[in-house]
Structure 1
Amino acid sequence: MRGFRDRTAIAGVGYTPFSRDSGVSTLTLAARAIRAALDDAGLTVADVDALATHRVGDSVPPWVVAPALGVPAVTWYLDQFGGGSVSHSVVAQAAMAVAAGVARTVVCYRAVNARSETRMGRAQGAAFDVQYQAPYGYFAPPQQFAMAARAHMNAYGTTHEQLGRIAVRQRAHAAKNERALKREPITLDEYLASRWIAEPLRLLDCCLETDGACAVVVTSRERARDLRRPPVLISGAAWGGGDSLFSGAGSAPGRATDLTVTEAARLAPRLYAMAGAGPEDIDVAELYDCFTYSVLVQLEDYGFCVKGEGGAYVESGGLPVNTHGGFLSEGYVHGINHIAEAVAQLRGTAGDRQVPGAEVALSTAQPGYVLAGTSALVLRSGR
């Protein structure tokens, strides 16, 4: 199960500012984040031979970005249709391309005007499963995750206060992050006073609508060591799935549907086996936080606590999670900004929010409630 463990590395990360109105196109956002990531790595556009992204019709594909940037020749590209569930598979597949020798320098990016242009989660589109949701007015992600969160509450006694602690803690991290859209600390009482979006989820349970872009540079381990920044090794990468909220989340042959189990529970053993690590080895986790509940359920499904004890684990403090403030407070760039934060932590360059001695990080995608799949990375310091 070693796969391409530690054969590739993230050598650069780049951001645009996060805002509620970027004032520019998604192409411009993508180009700016890519150039920032290349500069961080000490590379130029002339070094790029591959591009990778994921999108849901709300951004620009590599075959538009490449000529706009002036990339001399593209030997490999990935234009993956899909939401947050595939966000980490983009970087994983870039690493696989580098390890296989079909690309040398891959820039993975996500650009989105999710507030000012294409509102994320708006009830629209003609996906195959909409016909089953439409009669019930069951369209938007807050409704969908609310169903799973309620199931967890009913099964295990998970409380609003436990979800609130996630929001409060992540805002405290964001207060130390100059990129974050929301830096003003919040209290648990303020969380509980925030308005309902879809019970049991309140406003402060939900991620931010954000305009912005983020990019990471993937290359070989050997080459990364000669570049500007300390390399962060891609030790484990896994993606896949089978069931979604609409097709039987948590189901398996001989087992009834269980909305409290996500695809992450099935992915985690493969991920850890490839990385040669387990949950006990993880120093910091950047867990996909479209909603507070997705953090809680992933703490269980990635093995940091047993099923049903996620709420108690959150109350106890536990592992440092979403040290940049996450999608709840930094901004929602659909997955890649989690990877970039993990890189900062493993480089030791996260400033006031640095986790002391961080050597191994887990970064994850949407755990599979909406799209029938998920993806995740285990990253390791190459310093």
Structure 2
Amino acid sequence: MQAAHTLTPSQLSEFLLQVATVRPVFIWGPPGIGKSALVQQFAADVGLDCVSLLGSQLAPEDLIGVPQIEAGVSRFCPPSMIARQAPYCLFLDELNACSQEVQKAFYSLIHERRIGDYRLPEGSIVIGAGNRAQDAAIVKPMSSALINRMVHVQLRVSASEWLAWAKAHGLHPLVIEYLEQRPDHLWSPPPKHEEPFSTPRTWHMLSDALHAWGESLPPVGAEALAMGCLSPNHAAQFKAFGKLAGDRHRLDAILKGDARWPHEPHDRDLLYFLTQAFRARLIKQLPEDRRALSGDVQTFVHRAKALLKDLAQISLEMARLVVAPAEAGTEEAALPGWFLVEVIRDLPRLAAQGNG
């Protein structure tokens, strides 16, 4: 199952505050985007302890406990981490990775907030979370009875919210600066084969490793860290970005006319990074409807087409990357159609002017 409506982390926090206090909520989303951290922060914000159970590691007796004889009558005693006296937030992580037997053990806990004779204290909150079937994670079909006991919502990545969080929590400047230029690289879909892929979690991991290594980090170490945490394409571009060192605003300089595209063979990785950053800047700044162009954006359009012509003279392959269609199966946006039409119309004329 996939919940139809998606929320950013800040929107989900408000949603939990209004809904989870009265009904159990299930959060869907791909790995590494912060579902667990968000629930833990929510519990802290409302003043409750957060007890996390990992569904993929549970057996039924971990919930219902084992039978004990009291006054000649057997009764099940749930574990102490669940059977608490004070209200708390019970977080059922990877709930849809449970076996069917464990899922059934959750029925009364989720719907009636009860396990055997034990009831969750008044004011307790139950929240579940899990990955989607398309995420290549360990998931099992969730029974209709369990689905029907919760309110479902899907969490989506927000680059702006994550960057604000990253700055407030002191993540490595290189990670922050890179993602400010390439916010579309914060998350990538899980690959169909075994290789690292980019998520907010892996960027946080990379930041921790960069902080730990410090100023003595050699280029080979930086490359190994990037390749070990990020999607291969993102890792290559992060490596190129690191080579910019004290000149990490090269694209702004190129757009202003204060610098040129790098053209030496050994700068090909830099050129590739700047090409992709140029495409991302175009997607961000160009409106879908040409009639919405302001004077400043019109000037930017003229400059962009001239830069595209210059780039094509260095590498036709790189120029084609700028105007290529969005890749199928990704959430990457495409360039506006009117801009592509103008590029096709104007590039021969611009090239002729350049040769004059």
Q: Give the TM interval when normalised to the shorter protein.
A: under 0.3
TM-score (norm 2): 0.27
Of structures 1 and 2, the one scoring higher in RCO (CA 8 A, sep 6+) is 1
What TM-score results when the alignment is normalised by the length of structure 1? 0.26
Higher helix residue share: 2
In terms of fraction of residues, the more strand-rich structure is 1
